[in-house]
Amino acid sequence: MEPIENHPLYKAHTIDSAMNSLWDFYKKRFVELFLISFAMGLAMQYLGTFIRIDIGDYQTFDMDEMMNKLNEFKWPMIIFTLVNVLFAVILQYFVMFNPLDRECNFLKCAVKSLRYYIPYLLILVILAFVGSFALFLGLILLFVGALFAGVYIMTLYLFILPIMMVEGPIIAHAIVRTATLAHRNFWNNLGWTAVFIILLLVISILLSGLVLLPFTGSFLSAVSNPEEATIALEVTTQPLYIILSAVVNAITLPLLPVFSSILYFNARAREAGRNL
């Protein structure tokens, strides 16, 4: 395997070079990233069919009744979340190490990535508690505070897996390094993450609208009209919808680990330059 410094995303970035590197890497490796993400998307869409939440059942202010209904889907939700995290770990490992070792194909990357799964889950639990507290403080400051807290937590989240995979899966070290690298060059990290989130949301909304179009006739009506939204939920188990949703997932999913790698490699490159 080549040194981590030889990774095509490893360099000190500006916002322009970060987005250009994201696009260049994504474009160059689109086929393999698309196929991997498409398979993952199909699996997630299939698991999602076991979580059938009817909006009409939740149009009530009875919290006990709502929680009882949600409790029916507790285990499908847990399995869905665990599998989703597993796929995130595998894809992140592939993005970071396949360019450095072409013999590290998808299957080998998947096996090697498993050592990071449990530590990553534990860190996500810790981050969830920290994030909930940060969002609570943000809500006290109304919308802007909550928005800032959300972007801040997302910035921390994006650093975790690359740090674990390059520097080791020790939980304490990963937490300390995440805090160190995320807060060094803090405003750039936060700003880049905010721009990335906006771009990803816009792309996802547009593509999701196109997926719903054959079934509802209008994406906007599905969002604004509860009856249309109910119809939209009913089509989520149809094979065509599952396939189209997996295609959307395959287009957008690789962007997250690539951008995560850019954030980490930018921080590492700047740290190395500072230590010279």
Q: Please give the model's pTM, rounded to 2 decimal places.
A: 0.86
User: What domain range is 192 assigned to?
Assistant: 10-275
User: Per residue in 187-202, pLDDT tens?
Assistant: 999 999 999 999 999 9
**Does any domain span residue 2?**
no
CA dihedral for 179, 99, 44, 59, sign (positive or negative): positive
Q: In percent, how much of the chain has pLDDT > 70?
A: 83
Neighbours of 185 (CB within 10 A): 16
CB 85 within 8 A of CB 105: no
Residue 103 has what DSSP assignment? Answer: T
Give average pLDDT by consecutive 10-residue segment, the chain, 276 residues: 91 94 95 95 87 57 64 84 96 95 90 95 93 78 80 95 95 95 94 96 88 66 52 67 89 96 95 68
Does some domain include residue 161? yes
- Number of domains present in the structure of the chain: 1
The answer to whether residue 1 sits within a structural domain is no
What are the helix (H) ranges across the chain?
Answer: 15-28, 30-48, 63-71, 74-97, 106-113, 117-140, 142-167, 171-183, 186-216, 219-224, 226-234, 239-252, 255-275
Task: Assess if residue 3 is contained within a domain.
Answer: no
Q: Is residue 82 part of a domain?
A: yes
Residue 192 located in a structural domain: yes
**Residue 5 maps to a domain:** no
Question: Does any domain span residue 234?
Answer: yes
